[in-house]
Amino acid sequence: MKNTIKKYKKNKLLITLIIVIILSVTIGLLFPSLLSNSSKKLLISTLDNFFINIKNNNLNYTSSLISTLFSNILILSLIWIFGISIIGSVFIVIVLFIKSFILGFSISSILLSYKLNGLILSIIYVIPLILNLLIYFVLCYYSIDFSIILFNYLFKKRNNIHKKTVKRYIKIYIFSLLLIILSSLVEVYIVPNIINIFI
């Protein structure tokens, strides 16, 4: 019976996080169409500059890699720490929502700017964003799950925290770090070169 309840709770958590991603991606897709004309022009201008820099090979790869790594590792670390803080589950969901929103917003922005011609560009551009989102999703799931286990142990005196659970949580964080480093390398070095072929 206890195992059944645990499975139900975990499935409920999984479904909840998937719903958050679907909703936030959808909002991100719709958001650019709600912008004012001046904001749309600014958005198009920003994208144009980005693709022009790629075409002219004006990107600073080292600086971009450092910035991307710092940002991604910081977010991963915050998610992991929120899982230990018990009350951090809300913040974890917010982070997942924002990352999903950015994915939808990025796709919609490129399509808005370049219409059907931007379809290939948007697919290539969002590859690292999708990879990152998958990494964040897995870590968010285990962080919230760990937070629930910790809450039950401290306040409801249920479910002792086994060393195995703690070790698994640490391993997931380390594995996520390795994947995010790989994703960052793809984002900085591979994606711009692929985009350059199509512009």
Domain that holds residue 128: 2-198
Q: What is the mean pLDDT of residues 72-88?
A: 91
Say if residue 147's pLDDT is above 60: yes
- Counted residue by residue, the chain has a size of 199
Predicted pLDDT at 159 = 63
How many angstroms separate the CA atoms of 93 and 109, rounded?
24
Predicted pLDDT at 1 = 46
Predicted pLDDT at 196 = 85
Domain count, the chain: 1
Q: Contact 170/96 with Cβ under 8 angstroms?
A: no
Q: What is the mean pLDDT of residues 123-151?
A: 92
pTM of the predicted model over 0.75: yes
- How do residues 5-52 score in pLDDT, each as one tens digit? 555 555 899 999 999 999 999 999 999 888 888 888 888 888 888 888
Q: What is the mean pLDDT of residues 91-115?
A: 91
Q: What is the mean pLDDT of residues 149-160?
A: 73
Q: What token pair was written down for 40?
A: 């749309």
How many angstroms separate the CA atoms of 103 and 69, rounded?
18
By CB atoms closer than 10 A (0-12, 13-18, 19+), residue 76 is: buried
Instruction: Report the share of the chain in percent with pLDDT over 70.
Output: 92
Say if residue 142's pLDDT is above 50: yes
Say if residue 56's pLDDT is above 90: no
Say if residue 160's pLDDT is above 80: no
Number of H helices, E strands in the chain: 8, 0
Q: What is the mean pLDDT of residues 62-75?
A: 93
How many angstroms separate the CA atoms of 19 and 21, rounded?
5
Predicted pLDDT at 118 = 78
Higher pLDDT, 88 or 8: 88
- Between 11-15, 84-88, 152-156, the lowest mean confidence (pLDDT) is in 152-156
Say if residue 4's pLDDT is above 60: no
Q: What is the mean pLDDT of residues 109-135?
A: 87
